């Protein structure tokens, strides 16, 4: 059985914990289907070079950003890493993932 989980980040302070969780998860379950939804103030992590580097290394993880959160903070979606997908409403993405059988993890 392949494990599926969606990680939710809404603050920048929790990024190190989330990154550690992802690394540990993938070490134990390399075939897991993992997603990360970032919304709220957390969306600013996608503009940090260390986070961009982490995303580049972990290509098997799908990263998402909430359009509403970016717009509320006047952040340009075009400056996000190319592999970060934009979703219109982050909380809907979370609900859809849970409905699809993904475990919800909030570090």
Cβ atoms of residues 75 and 97 within 8 Å: no
pTM value is 0.96
Mean pLDDT of 27-32: 97
pLDDT, one tens digit per residue, over 84-107 is 999 999 999 999 999 999 999 999
pLDDT, one tens digit per residue, over 46-61 is 999 999 999 999 999 9
Domain boundaries, the chain: 4-21+32-105
Residue 28 pLDDT grade (very low, low, confident, very high; cuts 50, 70, 90): very high
Residue 20 pLDDT grade (very low, low, confident, very high; cuts 50, 70, 90): very high
Q: Which CATH entry fits the domain spanning 4-21+32-105: 3.40.50.2300, 3.30.710.10, 3.40.1260.10, 3.30.200.210?
A: 3.40.1260.10
Q: What are the residues whose beta carbons fall under 8 Å from the beta carbon of 45, sequence distance 6 or more?
A: 9, 12, 15, 38, 51
């Amino acid at each position: 059985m392949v494990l599926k989980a969606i990680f939710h980040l809404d603050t920048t302070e929790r990024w190190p914990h989330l990154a550690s969780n992802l690394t540990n998860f993938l070490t134990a379950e390399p075939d897991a289907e993992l997603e990360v939804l970032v919304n709220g103030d957390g969306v600013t992590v996608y503009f940090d070079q260390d986070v961009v580097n982490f995303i580049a290394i972990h290509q098997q993880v799908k990263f998402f950003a909430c359009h509403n959160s970016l717009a509320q903070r006047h952040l340009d979606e075009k400056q996000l890493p190319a592999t970060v997908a934009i979703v219109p409403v982050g909380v809907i993405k979370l609900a859809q993932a849970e409905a699809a059988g993904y475990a919800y993890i909030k570090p």
